[in-house]
């Protein structure tokens, strides 16, 4: 449905408003938990919906703002939003030596980063942040600032974010993900050192 249904700058802009919380469900089941928070919160909130890519053959853990979805010895990969399902499916197939520790972030802003995430990062020393949002004001910048404040900056830090409408064409959300290199195949190529 084109740019009107593929917001790329939304939570970066909205997080400038005082006390606003952003919820980005990744899986269909997350929506039920988040709606409970929305009805209970005394603050303004924004619910960001996108095309869910449900993983196959695995149980999705219960909703939490931060979740480790996959253990691995390669990169630490932090994803926000529903594109994580396709990435999860794809990286599970990687050889154990390059398989990432895959994390999911669903709420912004955040005050703390989980100890388990920091432990994974200390081991790997490589972080790839993937988000379907422009780089400016996105989780890549938010996480980088917090890691610097904590003195936990990784040796290597990279982001993959939305690049806008690269071809000037409109299409499905999957089309735009692929065009920006946010699809699972592009992420796997990056982690394997091919792209």
The rounded distance, in Å, linking the Cα atoms of 181 and 73 is 23
Mark 130-157 as b/e (b = at least 16 C-beta within 10 Å). bbbbbbebbbbebbbeebeeeeeebeeb
The reply to whether the predicted model has a pTM over 0.85 is yes
Q: What is the pLDDT of residues 33-66, one digit of tens each?
A: 999 989 998 999 999 998 888 899 999 999 999 9
Structural domain containing residue 120: 2-51+62-191
What is the C-alpha to C-alpha distance for residues 53 and 148, in angstroms, rounded to an integer?
A: 32
**137: in domain:** yes
Q: Let me know if residue 88 belongs to a domain.
A: yes
pLDDT for 96: 84
Question: 74 is written with which tokens?
Answer: 């390669």
- Quick check: is 97 in a domain? yes
Length of the chain: 195
Rounded to the nearest angstrom, the gap between the alpha carbon of residue 80 and the centroid of all alpha carbons in its chain is: 2
The pLDDT, as a whole number, for residue 144 is 97
How far apart are alpha carbons 123 and 74 in whole angstroms?
Answer: 9
Is residue 57 one of the residues assigned to a domain? no
Nearest residue to 99 (alpha-carbon basis) of 70, 120, 130, 56: 70
Residue 68 falls inside a structural domain: yes
Q: Is residue 14 part of a domain?
A: yes
- The answer to whether the CB of 83 falls within 8 A of the CB of 130 is yes
Q: Which residues of the chain have pLDDT under 50?
A: 1, 195
pLDDT per residue as tens digits for the range 147-156: 999 999 999 9
Decide if 56 is inside a domain.
Answer: no
Domain count, the chain: 1
69-143-7 Cα angle (round to 5): 80
Q: Is residue 134 a part of any domain in this protein?
A: yes
Can you give the CATH number for the domain in which 172 is found? Answer: 3.40.50.920
Write down the pLDDT at residue 169.
83
């Amino acid at each position: 449905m084109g740019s009107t249904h593929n917001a790329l700058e939304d939570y970066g802009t909205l997080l400038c408003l005082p006390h606003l919380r952003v919820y980005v469900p990744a899986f269909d089941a997350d929506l039920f938990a988040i709606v409970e928070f929305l009805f209970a919160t005394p603050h303004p909130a924004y619910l960001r919906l996108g095309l869910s890519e449900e993983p196959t053959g695995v149980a999705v853990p219960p909703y939490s703002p931060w979740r480790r979805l996959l253990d691995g010895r390669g990169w630490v990969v932090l994803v926000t939003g529903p594109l994580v399902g396709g990435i999860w499916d794809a990286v599970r197939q990687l050889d154990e030596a390059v398989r990432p520790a895959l994390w999911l972030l669903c709420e912004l802003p955040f005050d703390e980063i989980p100890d388990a995430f920091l432990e994974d990062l200390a081991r790997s020393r490589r972080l790839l942040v993937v988000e379907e949002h422009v780089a400016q004001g996105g989780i890549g910048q938010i996480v980088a600032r917090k890691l610097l404040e904590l003195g936990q900056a990784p040796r290597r830090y990279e982001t993959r974010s939305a690049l806008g409408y690269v071809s000037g064409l409109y299409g499905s959300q999957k089309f735009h993900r692929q065009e920006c290199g946010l699809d699972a195949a592009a992420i796997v190529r990056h982690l394997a050192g091919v792209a």
